Amino acid sequence: MIVSSELKYAFVSTVKGGTNSLYQILAEHYQGERFGDFHCNDVSDIPADWHLFTTCRNPYSRAVSIWFSTCMRGKDRYYFRQMCPNPDSFEVFAEWAAIMQSQVHRLSEPQQQLLMTQAQRHGEIDFNSILRVEYLLSDFAKLPFVESTLPEFPILNPTRNQRDSAGDYMTERAIRAVQRWMAPDFEKYGYSLKFHGESPIETSAA
């Protein structure tokens, strides 16, 4: 979590939701300081008059990002390659992740953070703003502590140029699996169940 007592805000990160980029921007330009663990979401000590915000991301692109970063980068840091029947297949990984939702409480904390839905992570937190990763710059510009001129946003996703777009992995089988895996996210954040291709990421404030 990043907080600022001067600007009176708290940012609760979402795994695979622009965390590194926002942490850097908030710390360097908006008097932000780390509070708690990297993905801390305990807001019980945050004053009621602060602006509380987080991010959300299209479930399809987020699912591919989770799979690629845990199974396809030459490491098995979270042991998902050992646990998934065929970790080289996004279809199989998404089906496995959907099945694991009923068992996610049995996993380690880092494993849970990756496989749980955004809705589950956000829980009952009453956010003032939820920024969409697909429109991060324009949504960020609407925050009450942000002035008209935005700093340049760093692109810190290490897999951004290593994998294909989400659409290249979205077979009918994969789409159905992601819909089962991340069903609460489609409903809570208003993303369409129909896959329309990966939404473009903004590259400028315009």
Q: What is the pLDDT of residue 75?
A: 85
For residues 29-34, average pLDDT = 96
Tell me the pLDDT band of 203, cut-offs 50, 70 and 90: very low
Give residue 150's pLDDT.
84
Domain boundaries along the sequence of the chain: 2-189
Measure Cα distances from 149 to 43, 128, 140, 145, 174 in Å: 29, 22, 11, 12, 40
For 79-93, what is the mean pLDDT? 97
Distance CA 176, CA 100 (A): 15
Mean pLDDT of the chain: 90
Q: Does the pLDDT value for residue 196 go beyond 90?
A: no
Question: What is the pLDDT, as a whole number, of residue 116?
Answer: 96
Per-residue confidence (pLDDT) for residue 163, from 0 to 100: 57
pLDDT digits (tens, 9 = 90+) for 121-139: 999 999 999 999 999 999 9
Q: How far apart are CA 139 and CA 55, in angstroms?
A: 10
52: CB partners within 8 A, 6+ apart: 9, 10, 12, 43, 46, 125, 126, 127, 128, 129
Q: What is the 3-state secondary structure (H, E, C) of the chain?
A: CEEECCCCEEECCCCCCCHHHHHHHHHHHCCCEECCCCCCCCCCCCCCCCEEEEEECCHHHHHHHHHHHHHCCCCCCCCHHHHCCCCCCHHHHHHHHHHHCCCHHHCCHHHHHHHCCHHHHHCCCCCCEEEEHHHHHHHHHCCCCCCCCCCCCCCCCCCCCCCCCHHHCCCHHHHHHHHHHCHHHHHHHCCCCCCCCCCCCCCCCC
What values do phi and psi take at 135, rounded to 5?
-130, 45
Residue 86 pLDDT level (bands cut at 50, 70, 90): very high
Predicted confidence at residue 111, as pLDDT, reads: 96
pLDDT of residue 153: 81
Query: What pTM was computed for the model?
Result: 0.89
Rounded Cα distance, 196 and 188, in Å = 18
pLDDT band of 202, cuts 50, 70, 90: low
Summarize pLDDT for 41-72 with one digit per residue, the tens. Answer: 999 999 999 999 999 999 999 999 999 999 99
